Structure 1
Amino acid sequence: MSTESQVLTPLFSLITQLQAEASTLPTQLNSTLNELTKTTKDTGFALFRLGRYKKARFHLTIAGAAGDLDSQYAMATCQSVLDGGARRVTTATRQWLLLAAAQNHIPALMRLGDNESLAKAKELATNAANANTVPAMIYLYFMTLEIEWLNQAAATNDPWALYELAQAYEQTPKLLADTQNREAVIADLIQRSADAGHRPAVYRLAFAEDGTVSTEQKQKRIIQLAEMGQLDGLIEYAYALAGLSRDKTKTHRTYGLERNLPKACALFKLVLQETAGAMQLPIIESDYWALMHHLPNTVDYDAILTDLQETTPKVFSVLQPMILVGSPF
């Protein structure tokens, strides 16, 4: 048994008890508890967004035990992944889902998957959908597979809805019987979703391998991903500008970009800074130092790095929350 697993259960019990007795606690202790919740949530989600679920679990346990809904649902993902698979609902996963479900969290109810939870999720989602809430319409599609919910959501031009509608047409071709028309509609939906900044759509176009996406389009989406702070996009953009390949057995891809060594080095440095303490990237670090030795001076590099540090959002790897319809435990 790991030291962490020995600590998490009593830690959860302690924070839960303190939260339950919050009204009787001294003001200073309550303030400290609130600060702890915020700090652990921020730290936990920074790790969670990088896919570092084991590291995130310790911090999110504290925030989740204090009642933070987002942390409770994220903990369900951490537990299921660490217990052997993202779709598994283990006992530990179920405990966190039940906490979030008790706060009427629709995805948690969906993922529990029992009849009672699904009925409640549908009721909540239907009420929200009737108020024109796009996520609720998407949840209802996931639960019912009734395409009209996605059509209704996509009619608002919501980028998530556009992408899900494209995926629905791919997964169920009979929804659009004409193959040529279906492919054109799917491509248009994904483009519109990506143009509106939906991360999975941008990622899909950036790293498409089926030959349907042009080099110019890939270049645009790689840069878009990097500017969002997406880890793979930042790394791919850096290697393209450096004229190198991360996999030394493969030919490098420039996506039509001119070599820009100062910017490539600055992008590598940003990645290393933003992932420090969360993950090790030895190949990137080695390539970074090798490239730095070829810089005639660091004036441009320093300016570019400062700009990237000021303008790049928090670096992330995970593209979107896990939304699944489960089955009874």
Structure 2
Amino acid sequence: MTDAPQTTFEPLVFSGVQPTGNLHLGNYLGAIQRFVAMQDTHPCIYCVVDLHAITATLVQPDLVQQTREVTAAFLAAGIDPKRNIVFNQSRVHEHAELAWVFNCVARLGWLNRMTQFKDKAGKDRENASTGLYAYPNLMAADILVYRATHVPVGEDQKQHLELARDIAQKFNNDFAGRIAELGLGDAFFPLPEPLIQGPATRVMSLRDGTKKMSKSDPSDYSRINLTDDQDTIAQKFRKAKTDPEPLPTEPKGLENRPEADNLVGIYAALSGDTREAILGQYGGGQFSTFKQALTDLAVTKLAPINAEMKRLLADPGHIDAVLKDGGERASAIAAPVMDAVKDVVGFLR
């Protein structure tokens, strides 16, 4: 009889960020800032998903340093590694073990519907790695190896969470008899729910308001990096693309003005104010005045994070110790779950 956790699923949040280098304002407002808020309302596991990092590009310039940078950003932004679990994915081998089981649970038709593979593989799909094709199964394993109940997701990840639910449901159904026989209740895996935290902050390029802010953009002026100093932040906002019209006095006036809408959205996300309040203060004025206010606000919010990241990265031993401790605590949860999966499937152990 396995001693794995029983079917009552305690609330638990799983969140992951790829260590792809050059974390920017979009990563902070869209994910990391939300992670900081979540730790006050839920028990959380924060993972640097380094196994995912090699799905598109196998040979990374410095995966170790990129992993440390994401961890430093977590800590500098305010995530407490004592209250939560912070670790890098490859330390916990159960992620990969469960992913293989899920490769055998998931159906090809399910993966063929994944739009992100089509986007990332582009026209040369035959040359994409099988890891890129199957990584949604690994994402499901990331969540379910902890039997996490909630996952914060943006629009581009909802499809992957739906797949994780489908995999959990199929596993529960296919092995219903074995799950009951082993005394594991009527279901082994929860069906994870999306964690909605209000409107998602979608940060766009400072050079083109119709494209997401991205580290892959060839122009460094398209993004605010978390490692940018105050002068660089100011220069980038000064050069940010706008249009010749003054700011409108109400949100409706931002329609069909993507650059203006993006800058107002960034101000709103950094300040916590509504678009209405911001336009009530700055509407009708010139962009130069608003850009200066946005710069001052961004520097106030980001400079302490930038300074703390630099301090942490100067002490890699501390970061590594945080990840090691987090990995051990994550393994303590994942190992009995994986052992139970082996019992359910019928592996001899």
Q: Report the TM-score when normalising by structure 2.
A: 0.27
